[in-house]
Structure 1
Amino acid sequence: MLRPNREKQQTYELVSIEDLVPENHMLRKIDRYIDFSFINEKVRPLYCENNGRPAIDPTVLFKMIFLGYFYGIRSERQLEREVQTNLAYRWFLGLGLTDKVPDHSTISWNRRTRFKDTTIFQDIFDEIVLQAISHKMVGRRVLFSDSTHVKASANKHKYTKQEVLQNTKDYLDELNTAVEADRKAHGKKH
């Protein structure tokens, strides 16, 4: 008897997000060796202790930006969509399957307003890299990569090595450009 899969989508299942993320997933390795708890202490002076509504956990915000940087997600709107649908990202952020993902505008506001004119992104990125180095997750060497499209019959002896530098400032500039383009596309003021 044939049964459409649609019926399966309407059933309830007891499932653990922990069981859905493969043991060898890169984010599990990062979570095992990188201690992100330093973020709250580092950003504490930028938050008000007794005024306003409760803030979204800054560790979640910075881990989201880390995901965007690590996986090459070049807009906060796209980052929000990716986190909504990617189980490994949700697990890494400590979000359950039904938890609300921080809105792209919240990420953007914090990045462009609360953390403006600070070195907080670079400081946090540097700490993550130092922890990764101490756990031998990254080497102290230059990485060369060829990211061009190559025909299958390409000559293996003809290639160029090029060092491409990208730091957190470049990534944040790309996010700002994406925000401005999005605002313009939606008829909003700059």
Structure 2
Amino acid sequence: MEIYELIIPKDNLLRQIKELVDFSFIYDALLANYCLDNGGNAVPPIRIFKYLLLKSIYDLSDIDLVERSKYDMSFKYFLDMAPEDEVINPSSLTKFRKLRLKDMNLLDMLIAKTVQLTLEKGIIKSKYIIMDATHTKSKYNQKTPPSSTPGTIKKTAP
């Protein structure tokens, strides 16, 4: 798609990953989880995996990921979509995780393989990934159970 050659910079991370990493290993890994002769055509497994990879890279919720995919041309380029193509429904990601990634380690394995390939191609420069394990507030569950004030004792009548 020539339009992407004009609007996506050559040093864009997603462009580098797309041009240098062969994602065919995804199809091979997920082939057993697809029935090719029943029902309608599913969203290609490589595209769904790329959605999940984008979700991981940019720390987005399913809804935010799909919304950003509507207007971010680097996302559409990475997903092998034309600018005018419709994006998936966020529920497709949930169904994919539940039905196609029954083995919970499969997604981790696929992401690890992608990281390995990006290291080999020089897209990611470090061989170490540093993760901050400090306790932080979750952006997904802001409600906390009510608690009593420490050091206060309620006296009850005898």
Q: So what's the TM-score if we normalise by structure 1? A: 0.64
Question: What's the C-alpha RMSD, in Å, of the aligned pairs?
Answer: 2.1
Q: Which 5+ residue runs of structure 1 have no aligned equivalent?
A: 1-14, 144-162, 166-173, 179-190
Checking the alignment, whether the CA contact within 8 Å between 1:18 and 1:91 is kept in structure 2 is no
State the match for 2:95 in structure 1: 109
Find the residue that maps to 1:119 and give its secondary structure.
helix
Map 1:29-178; keep pairs closer than 5 Å: 29-73=16-60, 75-136=61-122, 137-141=124-128, 143=130, 163-164=131-132
Q: CA deviation at 1:76?
A: 0.5
Checking the alignment, whether the CA contact within 8 Å between 1:80 and 1:101 is kept in structure 2 is yes
Give distance in 2, aligned partners of 1:63 and 1:128. 10
Q: CA deviation at 1:50?
A: 0.8
Q: CA deviation at 1:132?
A: 1.8
Q: So what's the TM-score if we normalise by structure 2? A: 0.76
Length, aligned pairs only: 134
Give distance in 2, aligned partners of 1:95 and 1:33. 18
Q: Percent identity?
A: 24
